[in-house]
């Protein structure tokens, strides 16, 4: 049994409809998977008449605690599958995604977190200055399978289309309960922090499993024009830098030392050679880094 969890907050109705329709087109029989939509404090609430009647084991529930991690933890609690697949409300899975996933999980019992290729479908064409930055929108292209058991793996799976084994999900839920500071790693409403998916993937590694990205898995990420603006990208750059430092301080990723005087001098000297926007990106990342280092972290609880 696979449990599919869609966590959604104030979704674009047309995108969510396409996400659900793509699940309806899956080649894996519905008897082999359940579907849970978690409305994470949306205003107004997600339409109760959401088209789920085609699936015998589909439900819509509401989670009032705002934040992607809160929604995912509710999904973990409310489902029963041996595999949990997290699908964003703007993800369109290829028709064979679930079937391929079950085959991968059966063939590779030593792996416990799976991701795949992600293409972008853009509401409008990305501007030229976006070149090289599409990876920030979780656009991934790999022509080979990449897997291993290292925090420094070439490509860790990202949150879109991420599947983990139940053992990993349960361990992660317990770890977050003991260390509520990890709730700050992921998105909450308009806050763009992003790191909870990596935290979940690293939990699989902590348990001794491998994780990987597989070319046979593919989904399409629907990207609205609002995410292709400089203002959005600057907010995202600041939030990503913040999350990276917080994770490192929690021991959940490679540590990054604070900038010394040499680094600061180098940043100052290269500024005149950067475009105005790239200077703004640099400032945003510096601000996120600095903000993360000023936040006191609470030691995890000793409760099991």
Q: What is the pTM of this model?
A: 0.87
SS (H, E, C) 75-109: HHHHCCCCEEEEEECCEEECCCHHHHHHHHHHHCC
Domain ranges of the chain: 2-223, 232-294
> In sequence order, what are the beta bridge partners of 38?
7, 61
Q: Which two tokens stand for residue 192?
A: 């763009």
Integer angstrom CA distances of residue 28 from 71, 163, 168, 216: 25, 16, 23, 15
Alpha-carbon gap, residue 123 to 120, rounded angstroms: 10
The rounded distance, in Å, linking the Cα atoms of 80 and 84 is 9
Element housing 94 (H / E): none
Per-residue pLDDT 10s for the chain (304 aa) are 899 999 999 999 999 999 999 999 999 999 999 999 999 999 999 987 788 999 999 999 999 999 999 999 999 999 999 999 999 999 999 999 999 999 999 999 999 999 999 999 999 988 887 777 878 888 889 899 999 998 888 888 998 999 999 999 999 999 999 888 777 777 777 776 777 788 999 999 999 999 999 999 999 999 999 988 889 888 988 888 888 887 777 777 655 555 555 665 666 566 665 677 778 888 888 888 888 787 777 656 554 4
CATH 3.40.50.9100 fits 2-223, yes or no: no
Q: Which two tokens stand for residue 280?
A: 């703004």
The alpha carbon of 167 is separated from its chain's Cα centroid by a whole number of angstroms, namely: 19
């Amino acid at each position: 049994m696979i449990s599919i969890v869609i966590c959604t907050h104030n979704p674009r109705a047309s995108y969510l409809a396409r996400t659900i329709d793509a699940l309806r087109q899956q080649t894996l029989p519905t008897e082999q998977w359940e579907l849970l939509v978690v409305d994470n404090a949306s205003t107004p609430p997600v339409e109760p008449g959401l088209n789920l009647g085609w699936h015998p084991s589909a439900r819509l529930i509401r989670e009032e605690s705002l934040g992607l991690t809160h929604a995912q933890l509710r999904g973990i609690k409310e489902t029963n599958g041996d595999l949990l697949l997290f699908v964003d409300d703007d993800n369109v899975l290829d028709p064979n995604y679930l079937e391929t996933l079950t085959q991968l999980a059966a063939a590779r019992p030593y792996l416990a977190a799976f991701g795949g290729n992600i293409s972008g479908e853009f509401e409008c064409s990305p501007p030229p200055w976006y070149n090289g930055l599409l990876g920030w929108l979780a656009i991934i292209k790999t022509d080979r399978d990449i897997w291993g058991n290292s925090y420094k793996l070439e490509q860790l799976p990202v949150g879109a289309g991420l599947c983990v084994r139940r053992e990993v999900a349960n361990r992660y839920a317990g770890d977050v309960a003991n260390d509520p500071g990890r709730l700050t790693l992921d998105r909450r409403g308009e806050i763009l922090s992003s790191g909870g998916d990596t935290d979940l993937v690293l939990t699989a590694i902590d348990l001794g499993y491998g994780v990987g990205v597989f070319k046979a898995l593919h989904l399409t990420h629907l990207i609205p024009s609002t995410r292709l603006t400089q203002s959005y990208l600057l907010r995202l750059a600041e939030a990503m830098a913040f999350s990276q430092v917080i994770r490192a301080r929690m021991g959940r990723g490679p540590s990054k030392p604070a900038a010394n005087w040499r680094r600061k001098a180098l940043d100052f000297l290269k500024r005149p050679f950067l475009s105005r926007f790239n200077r703004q990106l640099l400032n945003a990342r510096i601000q996120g880094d600095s903000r993360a280092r000023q936040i006191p972290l609470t030691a995890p609880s000793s409760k099991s």
